[in-house]
């Protein structure tokens, strides 16, 4: 099957492309390489280094005629969205709308959308949060991802089936260790360099860490499914930032103490996602334990030094 993956040169998108190629699909990647990297794109895939907002995207649809579109391209930084909500809206709302319009015009059969749990639910009223949880985004990024979801549903009424996957905190090889998010990548890189990682606040804040290959598998299953639906992709388990630091210190041999600074504003304190719907709908569940995932991530960062 021919599948167009936007953001296929990015952290998660490149793993999704690898999974698709492994399953025998023919892959076209659209990525403007802002945070993505050309060398991450599977050599079996065809890369178009263009912006999802550009007029050239129409030419790609006309030339490639994809059956399925998997949308991972995004401005994915919460901090950047707070600093410049307009740019976030241009990419995450108008870019998504442009893509969906072309999908409808070229009769794409199915659309898979990478969305977010934590940024959409806001401070959770119950943990783990399920898909029925109220949506009260705390950032422009969360607002725009939610708008993207509504547009996906709207375009679904034009004949295309869809899957929306709301990810927890995804971690694993290829994650950017120099960004403001991605605590596993940032801590691993710092510890391997013998530098103290910085913990914001008391470190007791929790996240739901899901391994990137499990997320890629969820995309395969969501592509093969025929119904239109939405599901959280997480583990349901809360892990504190202090625990992540402790596990990574033992995996990397780091003996120092983390640097502790004031908490960051606008971040949720605790979150975990209930993924029982993904189990019912897609027969998906996480297969990589936190310790295995952290070990694989640390080995990958070690091998790319």
Ligand X SMILES: NC(=O)c1ccc[n+]([C@@H]2O[C@H](COP(=O)([O-])OP(=O)(O)OC[C@H]3O[C@@H](n4cnc5c(N)ncnc54)[C@H](O)[C@@H]3O)[C@@H](O)[C@H]2O)c1
Active site residues: 141
Residue 128, preceding peptide bond in cis (omega within 30° of 0): yes
User: Are the C-beta atoms of 242 and 199 separated by less than 8 Å?
Assistant: yes
Binding ligand X by CB under 6 A: which of 5, 12, 27, 160?
A: 12
Only segment of 7-15, 121-129, 221-229, 269-277 that touches ligand X (CB under 6 A)? 7-15
- Among positions 20, 48, 167, 284, the unique one binding ligand X when judged by CB under 6 A: 167
Q: How many residues bind ligand X (CB under 6 A)?
A: 29
User: Minimum CB separation from ligand X for residue 23, in Å?
Assistant: 20
| 140/119 Cα distance (integer angstroms) | 9
Q: Give the residue, chosen from 73, 251, 271, 294, that forms a contact with ligand X under the rule CB under 6 A.
A: 73
Residues 80-139 close enough to bind ligand X by CB under 6 A: 91, 95, 114, 116
Identify which of residues 36 and 197 has a Cβ nearer to ligand X in the complex. Answer: 36
3-state secondary structure 171-204: ECCCCCCCCCCCHHHHHHHHHHCCCCCEEECCCC
Q: In this structure, is the dihedral angle defined by the CA atoms of residues 57, 59, 64 and 67, taken in order, positive or negative?
A: positive
Give the shortest CB-7-to-ligand X separation in angstroms. 3
Residue of 205, 230, 221, 227 lying closest to 287 (CA atoms):
221
Please answer whether residues 235 and 209 qualify as being in contact, where contact means their C-beta atoms are separated by less than 8 angstroms.
yes
Q: Which of 4, 18, 32, 187 binds ligand X (CB under 6 A)?
A: 32
Nearest to 174 by CA among 41, 75, 27: 41
Smallest distance from ligand X to CB 127, Å? 17
Q: Under the criterion CB under 6 A, does residue 10 sit at the interface with ligand X?
A: yes
Is residue 7 close enough to count as binding ligand X by CB under 6 A?
Answer: yes
| Contact residues: ligand X, CB under 6 A | 6-7, 9-13, 30-36, 51-53, 72-76, 91, 95, 114, 116, 167, 169-170
């Amino acid at each position: 099957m021919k599948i167009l993956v936007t953001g296929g040169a990015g952290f998660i998108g490149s793993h999704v492309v690898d999974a698709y190629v492994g399953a025998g699909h023919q892959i076209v990647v659209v990525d403007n390489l802002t945070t993505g990297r050309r060398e991450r794109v599977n050599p079996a895939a065809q890369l178009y280094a263009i912006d999802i907002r550009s007029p050239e995207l129409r030419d790609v649809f006309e030339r490639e005629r994809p059956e399925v579109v998997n949308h991972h391209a995004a401005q994915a930084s919460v901090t950047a969205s707070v600093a410049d909500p307009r740019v976030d809206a241009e990419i995450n709302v108008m870019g998504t709308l442009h893509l969906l319009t072309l999908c409808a015009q070229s009769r794409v059969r199915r659309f898979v959308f990478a969305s977010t749990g934590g940024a959409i639910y806001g401070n959770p009223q119950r943990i783990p949060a399920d898909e029925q949880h109220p949506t009260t985004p705390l950032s422009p990024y969360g607002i725009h991802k939610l708008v993207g979801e509504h547009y996906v549903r709207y375009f679904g009424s034009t004949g295309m089936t869809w899957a929306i996957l709301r990810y927890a905190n995804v971690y694993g090889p290829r994650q950017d260790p120099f960004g403001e998010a991605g605590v596993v990548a940032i801590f691993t890189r710092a510890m391997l360099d013998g530098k103290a990682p910085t913990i914001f606040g008391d470190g007791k804040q929790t996240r739901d860490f899901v391994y990137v290959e499990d997320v890629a598998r969820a995309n395969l299953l969501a592509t093969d499914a025929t119904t239109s639906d939405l599901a959280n992709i997480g583990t349901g388990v809360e892990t504190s930032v202090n625990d992540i630091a402790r596990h990574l210190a033992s995996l990397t041999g780091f003996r120092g103490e983390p640097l502790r600074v004031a908490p960051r504003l606008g971040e949720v304190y605790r979150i975990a996602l209930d993924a029982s719907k993904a189990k019912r709908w897609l027969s998906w569940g996480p297969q990589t334990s936190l310790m295995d995932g952290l070990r694989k991530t640390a080995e990958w960062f070690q091998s790319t030094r």
